[in-house]
Structures are given as C-alpha cells and as structure tokens.
Chains A and B, each alone.
Chain A
Amino acid sequence: MAGSGMPGLSFGTGPTTLACSFRSLTNPYHAAFNKGAQSFAKSVGLPYVPLTTEGSSEKGIADIRALLQKTGGNLVLNVDPNDSADARVIVETCAKAGAHVTTIWNKPNDFHPWDFNPHYVAHLSFDGLAYGAATATELFKAMGGQGGVVALGGIFSNVPAIERKAGLMAALKKFPDIQLLDFQVADWDSQKAFPIMQAWLTRFNTKVKGVWAANDDMALGAIEALRAEGLAGQLLVSGMDGTQPGLAALKAGELVATVDWDPYWLGGVGLSMGLSAQQKKMDVARLPKERRESFCKATLVSKANLQAVLARRATPAADWNDARVAGPLVYR
C-alpha cells in the first residue's frame, strides 16, 4: 500500500460490499428490487447485503451505520429511504465514511448529489405526474372519452400519491366529457379499496364507467368488489406499479393499464452506478446534472405490450449500464 496514508481505509484492500436498503420484503415490488440487486452483485462477483427498514427510519439508518462500520466504508449503497428526510442523514454518513450511495424515490428537494462529490452518485425517481396522466388517458380512451369515473388515491401526505393524483387531474382537463365523480384515498391497500368501491356502486350506480387507481393493489381491491357483484371486466379499471397480480388482471381483461417501473432493473442499476463511481470508471462530478437527478423511463403496460412485459418478467434480465434517463427531476 505504498503511497497510501491509511491502508486500512483505502479501496481495493478487500472486496467492496454492495448493499440495498428498502422498506421490507413483504411485497412483490421490493422482492423484485432485491432480486435485481442480487443478480447485479453476482454478475460482478461481489458480496451483497439487503437491509430492510420495516418502516422505521431509525432502524434504516442504524443498519446502514452498522454496515459502514463493518466494511470500513468500502461500501456501495443503493437506498430507497423510508422518509425523504432520511436521505440527508444517510448520504452524509456514507460520504464521511467514504462509501458511495445512490438514492431512489425519496429525498429532500434542496438536497442534491453534486453537493457530495463523488460519494453521492445519483438520485433516481419516476415522474408520478406523467405516468398518472398516462394511465388515466389510457382509461379514458377505453371509456370512449365520456362517462363518470371514480378515483382511488394513495396515502395523502405521500409524494408519489400527490403526483399521481396531479397526473389524473391533468388528464381530466384533456377529456372534458369525463366527469370525476369522487376521489377517495385507500392508503395503497386493496382491503381499504374494496369497501370504498362497494359504497361507490351504491352512491353512483350505473353512472360509474371507470375506476382510476394510483396503484395495482387498490385497483385489484376495486376489481374484487366488482366481481362480487358480477361486474368484473365490465367496468374499466386502471392501476399502476405493474405487480404480478396486476399483470394477471390485465391479461384477464379486468385491468386496462398499469405502469411497470421494473424494480428488478432499479435494484441493480443503483448499485451499478455506485460501483462505477467507486472504481473511478465514471467521473460523477463531470456527469450532466440530469444524469445525477433523473426521472427514469418506465413502461406503460396495456394489452398491446403485455406479452413483452410478461416475457421480460419470466426471465428477468437488465442492462446495468443503461440508465434509462427520461429527463431531469422536476420539483413541483
């Protein structure tokens, strides 16, 4: 280790550890996210550690600190922070320890990767407004551009929920003959969506022609409420997130559209960017800003491209060098 002041802390002394931190393993989205990260780690032959926050910011941060301690900072982390505010603490801690980190979905608006060169590599997110509008547009077109629609939103104070709703509202402006009958929140949860859909059937009867849901799980709850009345497949429903049951419902003709974020790719690509930065294959300080804070491209799934998406799901694979940049992050 000639020329290095602190051999124990310098890179290349042992294998770099790869890690992802995310909410929990109880849902298909994060299960696929974890699988992608695992597969990337395997492709580069490095050890991989999954960390779950279980919805607790404290646990999330404490686990990351422990892992930084264990690896002596020789770590590449891909983190989906439990709360926007956590991103700051996590990035500052990682930068101090010399680790490289990418964040996904959540971070404070005034907090940017270029403030922490080269350790804060990038922040990746998706444009909730654009995709909320896309699923709504698909639904409204299927409704023939007219009729009453009801909408199920996510948790009120949640950024994706707010953005997806804004997307719905934007799409409604373009379809003047579509009437939004009611908007309710079902906390992303099919069980909460079920009784709401039931009550809507009572309140609006045959006026409802379509249901827009901010995620697949709520869409499926609505579909099951419709099924209990023999209406599944007759009323049009759109979802989001491209979950396995959601895609199956699309295949069965009960769902009109959903959006596939491809969490498998997302789990791996965050690590891939971090690792190239750490190995100095990529000089992050020179990357354009829209590469470091970007909205990624997702896939709007409808009957037309369902087969292709299902085929990709069956044999998940991804190009870890493809950043799928859709554009710079937009703060609203």
Chain B
Amino acid sequence: MNEPDAAQVAHTGALRMRARQRRFAPLLVLLALGVCIGAVDHNFFDPMNLARIAIAAAIPLTIALGGIFVIQLGSIDLSAEGVVAVAAITVSMLVENSYNEHHSGLWVLALAVAAGVVLGLVNGMLHVFLRIPSFITTLAVGFIASGIGTAWLSGNTIRVSDTALRSIAITRYLGMPLSVWIALLALGIAWWVHRHTLLGRHTLAIGGGEDLARLCGVRVGRVRIAVFALAGAFYGVAGILAVAQYGQGHAVIANGQLFVAITAIVVGGASLAGGNGSPLNALVGTLIVVVLANGMVLLGVPPYVQRGIQGVLIIVAATLVLDRSHRRIVK
C-alpha cells in the first residue's frame, strides 16, 4: 500500500477542520448574536432577561425536540401545531376550567402526552403502511388534529384556572419556572434517546442511507413509526407547557410554532436531508431564534424590519452550517 501523499493528508485535514467549524458554527452564531446585543444593551445579560429568554424558548424547544428526530430520518413532520392543540385542549378540559366541571388533577398530563403519542402513531402508520410521503401524511393529520380541536370546542377558548397546572409556568426553582426545567428534562430525554438507544442510532442510519440501513437489518418501517410517535410525545409535553404558560386551551394555541421549530432545527445545523443533527442542534437553533426576537425588541428595531432581519439571519446561519461541499445538486 502506498503512503498517502502530503497533499492528500493536508486535504483531509482541511476537510475535517471545516467539518468541525461547521459543527460549532451555530453556537458561534448564537454567541456572536448575544455579544452584539449585549454590547448595545447591557440589560441583555441581566439574569432576569436570561430567564425570560429561557421561558420563551421552552415551548418551541420542546416542539423542535420532537421534530429533530423526524428530520434526522430525512422526513418532515408538519402536524406539530395540530397535535399540540389537541394535547392542550385535552389538558385544559380536564383540569379546573371555565368550560366544564371537570377537576381531575394532574394525572391528565399523562393523557396529554398519550394523545400526542396516538396522533404520532397515526402519522407514522399512515406514512409507512400507505407509503405516503411524510410531508402529506403529517400535513393531513395536522389538519385533522386542529379540526378535532375546533369541533371539540366549537371555536371557543377554554380559560384554565387550575393553580397546580398554572404553577408549572409560575413556580420558580433556582430562578427558573418549572416549565424551563421540564423543557430541560425533555432535552435530556431526547439526548439519551439520540445517543444511547437503538432507536436513536437507527434513526440516523435511515436518514443517512435507508437502503443500506435496511440491508444491515434495521426494521425501517418500525423505526419510522416509533420516531413519529416519539415526536408526538414531545408535542404533547409542549401542549401542557402552552396551557400552563397562556392559561388557555384552544384549537390554534400553537399557530406559528411549527415554522419556528423547523427554522430552529435548520439554523441549529441539522440538514433537512436527514442523517445528521442532534437534540443540541435543536437547543442552539431555538436559542438563536428566541435571542434574536428578544434582542430586536431590546435594541428598538422597528417592527417592520424585524421579519427581514430574521430572514437574513436564517440565510447566514444556514450558509455557515450546512455542508455544501459534496452537493452537486441542490433541490
């Protein structure tokens, strides 16, 4: 065997370096953003403000944690808003509320997660058994879920007065409300599934090359269904946090959150093509989106240019983060 020549070594070295740079690019974007905002308005680094950012990030992070597994598969889940709404309505209907006489206690939280899992299973099974692209199945299931929510309440809003549930967003431990700790726990679980379970590895394997994974004995259909169900569980948790935060349950409680979650995942460095990404990408990406929104208000950016700046940041982050060197064709 020939010794690899110096040029080749240098080349692989450079590639590796670039890959490492890319891996840390989202974190650098986040830090740069924080430093820039903090330089202009010192209040940004006030612990109170950092807590506010954490609170604002809790719900989108939980949704993004579900979404990242699906995106690792190379699929997409557009049902998040509908599933979160169904979970939120389930919770708000069963605790003390303005709509009915139920007062079932906090075990209903498990029911909300279960509702998310069931809708996730529907997503996965339709997608796998009917062989419909996930884009279509999840879009349809999302419509069905928000349809269920709308019909269930006939368009009304439930106001939740249950103090135990509301305390999730209000009671603080070490300066952070319970909702932030729950989101961190969800992050821990997502990390564990991603790093230490067969499901996590098989998900990446399928996203990286489904045919190869199949040949290696990965039960692709089963993994896909499990991943969608897992995503549903995270959306269920997000539904609980939404009810706790807004004190309401209604069919459009998560409107706009899907876009935030997918943006966060991509800005955080995961590729929509699948096969890479981790829950940490979801965390960094969510923080980038939330810090930017917080910063723009702090800096007094006029509201009619905020959207435009968001767009610019998404393009900058995606440019820094995505590996485009081996892509001949971009669709």
Determine if A195 is an interface residue (Cβ-Cβ < 8 Å).
Answer: yes
Q: Is B300's CB under 8 angstroms from A26's CB? A: no
Contacts known (A28-B156, A202-B43, A248-B159); A194 close to B300, Cβ less than 8 A: no
Segment with Cβ contacts to B, from A108-116, A182-190, A276-284: A182-190
Mark each residue of chain B from 122 to 153: 1 if its CB lies under 8 Å from any CB of chain A, else 0. Answer: 00000000000000000000000010011000
Q: Is B246's CB under 8 angstroms from A220's CB? A: yes
Contacts known (A202-B44, A203-B43, A228-B170); A182 close to B300, Cβ less than 8 A: yes
Docked Cα-Cα span, A206 to B233, in Å, equals: 40
Determine if B211 is an interface residue (Cβ-Cβ < 8 Å).
Answer: no
Contacts known (A189-B256, A191-B246); A31 close to B169, Cβ less than 8 A: no
Determine if A289 is an interface residue (Cβ-Cβ < 8 Å).
Answer: no
Q: Is B154's CB under 8 angstroms from A202's CB? A: no
Residues on B with C-beta less than 8 A from A200 are 297
Q: Is B257's CB under 8 angstroms from A245's CB? A: no
Residues on A with C-beta less than 8 A from B177 are 228
Residues on A with C-beta less than 8 A from B300 are 182, 203
Residues on B with C-beta less than 8 A from A244 are 98, 156-157, 159
Q: Is B298's CB under 8 angstroms from A202's CB? A: yes
Q: Is the interface of B mostly helix, strand, loop or mixed?
A: helix
Chain B interface, number of residues (Cβ within 8 angstroms) = 43
Determine if B213 is an interface residue (Cβ-Cβ < 8 Å).
Answer: no
Contacts known (A184-B303, A200-B297, A203-B298); A245 close to B56, Cβ less than 8 A: no
Contacts known (A182-B300, A192-B256); A202 close to B52, Cβ less than 8 A: yes
Q: Is B44's CB under 8 angstroms from A220's CB? A: no
Contacts known (A182-B297, A195-B294); A26 close to B43, Cβ less than 8 A: no
Q: Is B98's CB under 8 angstroms from A248's CB? A: yes
Determine if A27 is an interface residue (Cβ-Cβ < 8 Å).
Answer: yes
Q: How large is the interface on A (under 10, 10 to 19, 20 to 34, 35 or more residues)?
A: 35 or more
CB neighbors of A among B86-104 (8 A): 98
Q: Is B245's CB under 8 angstroms from A194's CB? A: yes
Segment with Cβ contacts to A, from B5-13, B14-22, B247-255: B247-255
Which of A28, A184, A198 touches B55 (beta carbons < 8 Å)?
Answer: A198
Mark each residue of chain A from 23 to 41: 1 if its CB lies under 8 Å from any CB of chain B, else 0. Answer: 0111110110010000000
Residue of B nearest to A203 (CB): B298
- Give 9 pairs: A residue, B residue, CB < 8 Å, sorted on A: A24-B150, A26-B155, A28-B155, A156-B304, A185-B303, A191-B255, A227-B169, A227-B247, A245-B157
Question: Told that A199-B52, A203-B41 touch, could you supply 4 new A-B pairs with CB distance under 8 A?
Answer: A26-B252, A27-B250, A28-B155, A191-B256
